[in-house]
């Protein structure tokens, strides 16, 4: 087992997930799905959305925030579905590695959570 971190490998791959080893690709995909749950990035929820730090003020001002929550949920589900397909296609969850174990724990948490329909 090598002593490297996902962050180190990610930067060494010039931030290109597809250039990581398969188990690290799956872990990145799961982390991205989880990250979508709390992102205020316009690529995920659209331009004009309030930043996470502004949600309290927006809610108290009567702004309907449900559309942004739905967009986050849609992004999370799409990214999670992609992560599951990637894990299955590459067989990384049958690979005894730290990355695969971390992916499996995170996937289980997503499935068990109320955030994934059917979970």
Give the pLDDT confidence of 36-53 residue by residue, as tens digits: 988 989 988 888 888 889
What share of residues in the chain are helix, strand, coil (percent, to 5)? 70, 0, 30
Q: In this structure, what DSSP letter does residue 52 have?
A: G
Q: Nearest 5 degrees, angle CA 102-CA 18-CA 113?
A: 35
pLDDT-derived band at 1, boundaries 50, 70, 90: very low
Give the separation between CA 56 and CA 43, rounded to whole angstroms.
22
Output the pTM of the full model.
0.81
* pLDDT digit string, tens, across residues 61-100: 998 989 988 999 899 999 999 999 999 998 887 888 888 9
φ, ψ of residue 118 to 5 degrees: the values are 85, -5
């Amino acid at each position: 087992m090598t002593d490297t971190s996902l962050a180190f490998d990610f930067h060494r791959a010039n931030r290109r997930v597809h250039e990581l080893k398969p188990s690290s690709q799956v872990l990145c995909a799961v982390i991205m799905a989880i990250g979508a749950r709390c992102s205020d990035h316009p690529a995920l929820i659209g331009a004009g959305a309030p930043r996470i730090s502004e949600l309290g003020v927006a809610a108290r001002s009567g702004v309907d925030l449900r559309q942004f929550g739905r967009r986050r949920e849609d992004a999370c589900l799409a990214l999670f579905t992609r992560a599951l397909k990637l894990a299955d296609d590459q067989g990384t969850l049958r690979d005894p590695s730290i990355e695969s174990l971390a992916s499996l724990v995170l996937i289980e948490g997503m499935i068990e959570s109320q955030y994934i329909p059917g979970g």
